[in-house]
Structure 1
Amino acid sequence: MRQRLLLRQTCVEDLKYLGQSRLECQKLQGTAVICGGSIAGLLAARVCHDHFANVIIIEPESWLSTVDAVREDAWRQDHPRTRVMQYRSLQGIQVLGFQGFYRLFPNFLEECKKSDIHVCRGDFRSSTWGNWTKTPHAEYGGNLPKTMFVGRPGLETLIRRLVLDTTKYPNIKQIIGTATGASRSSTSSERMEQVSVRKQDGSIVNIHAELIIDCTGPVSAGIKWLQREAFGHSVDGKYAKGTLPVEDLRVSYDQKINYSTLEFKVSKELGERLNVPGGWEGCGPIYNCFTDGLVESRSIYSQRIEGDIVQVCCGAWGIDDLPATLEEVKSYVRSLITDKPIPEWFFQFLDLLAEVDDVKHSRVRVPATNFNRFDKVPNLPSNWIALGDSVMRLNPVFGQGCTKALMGAVCLNTMLQKYGATALLSDFAQNFFKLQASKIGPIWEGVKLGDYTYQTTIPIKGETLSKGWLLRWYIRRLHILAFTDKQAGSALWHVKMFLAPPIDNLQFGLIVKVLWSALMRPNA
C-alpha cells in the first residue's frame, strides 16, 4: 500500500521523467499556449518545450519583457510584481521542489550562484512550540537533501531567465497581453481551438492552440471560458456519483490569515556579527517557530535570502494587528506562548538588526482558500488544462505554493511522456486532472486539517471545525513524540518535504508509540 501511495500521491517517481526532451522531429506539431507567466506558467512552458514544436507564454505585465525581469540581481529590480500579492513576503521551497527545478534546468546550481541564491541542507531550523523536532540527518550521513532559501523575486526572476533563454529553449516565446478567452474548435466539439489575446494597444489576436494551459492564478479565468463555450456539463443532464457541473467545482474556506514581513538589507560586516547557526556565509534558514494551535495562533519565521537580505515574518490566524517595525516584532516574539522558551540568541539577533537602515515592510491579508475540482467535472475540452493557483490556492503559512505549481508541471510532463506520443488523446485533460488531483489533493486535506484547529476559521459549507478531529489529535501527538523519537521526526520531515506519502505518519510502530506516549503523558 505504501508503494502504491508513493506513486499515486507524490511526484518522487515522476521526477525521473522530468527534463527528458523528445527529438525535434518527434515533437507534437502545433502550439502549446500558456495563459499566465508566473511561476506555474513558466514551469509549464519549460515542460512543454520538451514536447511541442512551439510554446507561447501570454504575460499581462509589460515590464516582464524587459531586462529587469531576468536580471541576476533580482533584489535590485525597479518594478514590483503587481499581480503577485506575496512578491515581497517570505516563502519556502520544499526539497521536492528544489529537486524538480534541478532536473528541469541542467545549469540550475550555477544560475543560483549567479543570483546569490543559497542552496543548503533541507533543515528549516523549525521548532514546534519551542521544542526541536528530531530531523533525519543520520539517515543521509549527516547531510540532508538540499533545498533553496530564496525570496519570490529571486526565484521567479531566476526561473524566467532560464525559461526565456532562447539559446537553450528556442521553442519558447513570450508575448505581452491578456488572455481573454478560448473558443471551441470548429471541427471537433471535444477541443478548444484558439486563445484570444488583447494586446497592449487594445487589439485582439487569436492564437491557434494544440494545448491550452490556464495559469491565470486565483482568478481562474478558464472557468469562465469553459462556461462560455458550454463545456463542463453532462450531455444528458445527469451526473454520476462523484461528478458535478462546472459551476459547482469550487470548494472554499476562509482561514483568516494575515502575515507581515520585514526585509533587512544586511552588510557583510553586520552579517558576520549576527551569530546565526552555521555562520553567515552558508546561512539560509535562521529560526522558525510554529506554535501550538490549541493555545496560540501566532508564529515567527526568519531566513536569509539573495542579496544579503534577512526576512523576518510574523503570521497569525484570526489576528489583524501584526508588527510593522522591528521593535514591534521583538515585543511580538517575546509574547508568543511556547512550551520551551525561544532561544536568547534569536533576540540578540533581532537587536543587531536595529543597525540596518534599509528596511522594507510588506503586509498580506490572505484571501479564502479554494480548490477547483476539475477532476470531477465531465465533458471538459481534451486540450485544455489548468495548474498552479488556477486549481488550488493554499494557506501560505507552510510555503507549499511553489512546490504545488511544480507538481502540476510534473504531472503535465508525465502525461505527455506516457499518453501524448503523437497527438493529445480525447481523454488527455480528464486523465491529467485526475493525476494532478491525486498528487495535490493530500496537500489540501493536510493544510485544511491544520486550519480547522483555529476557531476563527470559517469552514467549507456543510462542514464544521470538528471535522478531522481524531487525525488532528494524532498528528499533534506525533509532533510531541518527534521531540524525542527519531522515527517520528523522520516521518514528519519526509512528508513535509513531499518525499513520502502521508501514510508514512501512520506507520504501525508510530501509532503504537503515539498511543503509549498519550497514555503515559496525557497532558504533554
Structure 2
Amino acid sequence: MSSYFSQAAACAGVAGALYVTSPAIWAGLRKRSIENNTAYFDMQKLGTSREASTKIPGTAVVCGGSIAGLITARVCHDHFERVLIIEPEAWLTTEEGQLTEAYAQASKRARIMQYDAYHGFHAFVYSALANLFPNFDEEAANSDVKVDRTNMDFRVSGVAPPPAPKYYGGNYPKRLWGSRRGLETLLRRLALDKKAYPNIEQVVGSVVSLVPDKHHSGTLAGVVYRDETGTTREIPAALIIDATGAAQAGQKWLSELGYAQDLHIQSYNPRAVYACIIMRVPPSFWDSLSHMPDNARGPGAGPVMFLMPNIEKENRAAVVVRNEHGFIHMIAAAWGSPDMPTTLDEYIAFVHSLHVLEPLPDWLFDFLDKLHEVEDTFTLQKIRQSPSSLLPYEKCQSLPDNFIALGDANCRINPIYGQGFAKVVTGASCLNTLLWQTRNDLVIPRNFGRKFFNLQAPKIQPFWTSPKLFDYPRPDTVPVPGEYDTQFFKFMRWYFGSIRKLARKDEQANLVIYRNGMMLDSAPIDLFHPLLVTKVFWRWLTGVA
C-alpha cells in the first residue's frame, strides 16, 4: 500500500499548491461536486408548488405507498392535477394507517421486515421533510417522533467522538429520531391530509403491468392494477413512478413491453444480520440515571450510543436509541452468521464483548442493566438482510419517457449504515428539480425518464459504493461478480480512519466528518480538501498516531 501513499502524497502536494494559488478554483470545484454528487441543492427546492393553472393535466401514478411512495406523492402534488398512490395493503387506507400513536396499530406491514426497527435519519432528511410539510414539527410532536439538535454519540471501536464542531456554536442542525413504524405512519397522515393536499388519493391494489401509448412511441399511457377484490383496472397516467421498494417491480413491467432489455443488475450480498430488541420505559425510568449525558437522557433525546466496529478487529456493531412513546430500540448487527442475542442479558454480554480501544462508559451499562425493571415489555425481531442491488437504468438504450424508479426500487443497500431514507429523499429531490426545470410544459417532455435517471445516478452512487468499503473486507460477503476488496478500497479505509483520528484534535477534520455524516452542505470532495490531505499525510510521515 506504500505506492498508494506516495502517489496520494504527491497529489496532495499538487492539490495544496492549486488551493493556495487559486482558492476560487477549489470553491468552484466544490460547488460543482455538491451539485453533481449530492441532492443538497435539489432538496432546498422542495415544497414550492406551481400555480394551479400550470400544473400538468392527468395523473401521476405512484406504485407503492411506503415511505418512498408517500414522499414522491407529496412532490408530485406540487406539479400535477392529480396524484394516485396504489398500495397493496388495505389497512393503510384506514384510520389505523395514520394513528398518532403508531405503536397502537394492530396491523403490521407485510412486506417491510424493518417496520418495527429503528431507522437512521440525517439532518438532510429532516430539512427535506420540513420543506415538504410546513407543519412537520407539530405533527412529529403529536406522534412523539423526536426532532432535536442532539449530537449523537457515535463511536468506532469504542473511541469517544470529538465534541460537535464549533462552527455551529452549539446550534446544531435539526435531525430526527424514530422508528420506521412511527415515521412512516406520520408521513402517511401528513401526505394524505385532504385539506393540505387535496390532489393526493390512495387506492388499494397491486400494479401488474404498464400500458403503452399507441399514439406516441416511447410513452406509457397508464398502468393496470388489481384491486382488493381481484378486479383488474386500468388507470391513465401522465407519469409513472416505481416506488415498489425491494420488489423492484418496474424492471419486470418494462421488460414485458420491450424496454430496458439491456439492464444489467448489479448485486452483492453482505450477509448482514441483526437482532432488534424493543422495550418500553415509563418517564420515571430516567430519574435514577442523572449521571447519563443530556444527549442520551434529556427530554428530547433520541440517541444513546452507536458502536461501530474496526473491520480489522470486529464484525459486529451495536446501536441503542430512544424512540417515540418511551420505546427503547437495541440493535445487535453483524456480518456473517454469528450468534445473536435473544435476551436482555445476552445483549448486555454482546455489548461487553465488542472489541474496543477505549472502555465504554459505566453509564451505558447502568442504563442497560436498569432495563431489567421493564423486562416484561421485551420483544425481539431477527432479520437477515436481503442482498444489495443496483438497477442502472441510465445505461439502458431504451426507456419510456414517463417512467422513473427511486428508493429501493432503484437501489437497495445494506441498512446497517442508515442511508436508506436519505436515498429516497435524494430521488424525490431529483424528480422535483426536473419538474421545476420543465414547469412551463403541460406535458411530460420527451426523454424525461432518461434525464431523471441521469440526474439521480451520480447522486445515489455514493450510497451504493461507500458500503462496499466496509462490506467487501468481510470474509462472508459475496461481492458483485468480478469485484473484490481492492487496494484502492484498503487505502480509502486507511484515509477515512486517519481523518477520524485527526478530527479528535483538528476542527477542520471534525467539521468535514460532521457535515458529511449529516449530509449537509458537503460533498465527497470535502474529504480531500488540500489542507486536510496535507494534515493526514504529515501525520503519517511523522509517525503521529
TM-score, scaled relative to structure 2: 0.91
Q: Which residue of 2 aligns with 1:336?
A: 354
2:36 is aligned with 1:8: yes
Q: 2:524 is matched with which residue: 502, 506, 510? A: 502
Q: Which residue of 1 aligns with 2:370?
A: 352
- The alpha-carbon deviation at position 97 of structure 1 amounts to 0.5
3-state SS of 1:13 partner: helix
3-state SS of 2:453 partner: helix
Would you say the 8 A contact 1:89–1:260 is kept in 2?
Answer: no
Q: Which residue of 2 aligns with 1:388?
A: 407
- 1:244-283 matches, cutoff 5 A: 245-246=262-263, 248=264, 250-275=265-290, 276-278=292-294, 279-283=297-301
Q: Which residue of 2 aligns with 1:239?
A: none
In the TM superposition, what whole-angstrom CA distance separates every residue of 1:182-209 from its partner, at most 9, and x where no partner exists? 1211111211111011011111000000
- The alpha-carbon deviation at position 333 of structure 1 amounts to 0.8
Q: Distance in 2 between matches of 1:123 and 1:319?
A: 32
- The alpha-carbon deviation at position 476 of structure 1 amounts to 1.9
Please say which of residues 99-108 and 488-497 is displaced more in the overlay. Answer: 488-497
- 1:65-464 matches, cutoff 5 A: 65-233=93-261, 245-246=262-263, 248=264, 250-275=265-290, 276-278=292-294, 279-356=297-374, 357-422=376-441, 423-464=443-484
- The alpha-carbon deviation at position 512 of structure 1 amounts to 1.6
Would you say the 8 A contact 2:153–2:161 is kept in 1?
Answer: no
Instruction: Give 2:313's aligned amino acid.
Output: V
- 1:471-490 matches, cutoff 5 A: 471-490=492-511
- The alpha-carbon deviation at position 420 of structure 1 amounts to 4.4
3-state SS of 1:48 partner: helix
Q: Distance in 2 between matches of 1:122 and 1:378?
A: 46
- The alpha-carbon deviation at position 75 of structure 1 amounts to 1.4
Would you say the 8 A contact 2:50–2:439 is kept in 1?
Answer: no
Instruction: Give 1:464's aligned amino acid.
Output: Y
Q: Which residue of 2 aligns with 1:240?
A: none
In the TM superposition, what whole-angstrom CA distance separates every residue of 1:148-203 from its partner, at most 9, and x where no partner exists? 10100110000000000001100001000111111211111211111011011111
3-state SS of 1:307 partner: helix
Q: Distance in 2 between matches of 1:186 and 1:122?
A: 55
Would you say the 8 A contact 1:289–1:301 is kept in 2?
Answer: yes
Q: Which residue of 2 aligns with 1:241?
A: none
In the TM superposition, what whole-angstrom CA distance separates every residue of 1:352-374 from its partner, at most 9, and x where no partner exists? 01111212211110111111111
Q: Which residue of 2 aligns with 1:516?
A: 538
Query: Greater share of helix residues, 1 or 2?
Result: 2
3-state SS of 1:97 partner: helix
Q: Distance in 1 between matches of 2:499 and 2:165?
A: 19
Would you say the 8 A contact 1:134–1:486 is kept in 2?
Answer: no
Would you say the 8 A contact 1:135–1:490 is kept in 2?
Answer: no
Would you say the 8 A contact 1:301–1:312 is kept in 2?
Answer: yes
Q: Distance in 2 between matches of 1:371 and 1:138?
A: 38
Instruction: Give 2:419's aligned amino acid.
Output: Q
Please say which of residues 512-521 and 46-55 is displaced more in the overlay. Answer: 512-521
Q: Which residue of 1 aligns with 2:26?
A: none
Q: Distance in 2 between matches of 1:315 and 1:325?
A: 15
In the TM superposition, what whole-angstrom CA distance separates every residue of 1:351-408 from its partner, at most 9, and x where no partner exists? 0011112122111101111111111112200000000100011111121101111111
Instruction: Give 2:379's aligned amino acid.
Output: K
Q: Distance in 1 between matches of 2:505 and 2:384?
A: 36
| Gap runs ≥5 in structure 2 | 1-28
Q: Distance in 1 between matches of 2:94 and 2:310?
A: 45
Number of aligned positions between the proteins: 510
TM-score, scaled relative to structure 1: 0.95
3-state SS of 1:150 partner: strand
- The alpha-carbon deviation at position 273 of structure 1 amounts to 2.8
Query: Which runs of 4 or more aligned residues in structure 1 lie more than 3 Å from their structure 2 counterparts after TM superposition?
Result: 519-522
In the TM superposition, what whole-angstrom CA distance separates every residue of 1:214-268 from its partner, at most 9, and x where no partner exists? 00111111101111001125xxxxxxxxxxx12x2x1011111111111111011
- The alpha-carbon deviation at position 289 of structure 1 amounts to 1.2
Please say which of residues 116-125 and 89-98 is displaced more in the overlay. Answer: 116-125
Q: Distance in 1 between matches of 2:104 and 2:429?
A: 31
Please say which of residues 213-222 and 478-487 is displaced more in the overlay. Answer: 478-487
Q: Distance in 2 between matches of 1:400 and 1:135?
A: 23
Q: Which residue of 1 aligns with 2:78?
A: 50
Q: Distance in 2 between matches of 1:270 and 1:17?
A: 42
Q: Distance in 2 between matches of 1:476 and 1:460?
A: 25
Would you say the 8 A contact 1:57–1:174 is kept in 2?
Answer: yes
CA separation of 1:466 and 1:455: change in aligned 2, threshold 3 A: farther
| Gap runs ≥5 in structure 1 | 234-244
- The alpha-carbon deviation at position 510 of structure 1 amounts to 1.5
Q: Distance in 1 between matches of 2:239 and 2:288?
A: 53
CA separation of 1:351 and 1:521: change in aligned 2, threshold 3 A: farther
- The alpha-carbon deviation at position 122 of structure 1 amounts to 5.0
Would you say the 8 A contact 2:165–2:510 is kept in 1?
Answer: no
Would you say the 8 A contact 1:277–1:283 is kept in 2?
Answer: no
Instruction: Give 2:392's aligned amino acid.
Output: R
Q: Distance in 1 between matches of 2:540 and 2:315?
A: 23
- The alpha-carbon deviation at position 290 of structure 1 amounts to 1.0
Q: Distance in 2 between matches of 1:79 and 1:488?
A: 46
Q: Which residue of 1 aligns with 2:13?
A: none
Q: Which residue of 2 aligns with 1:238?
A: none
Instruction: Give 1:438's aligned amino acid.
Output: P
- The alpha-carbon deviation at position 129 of structure 1 amounts to 1.2
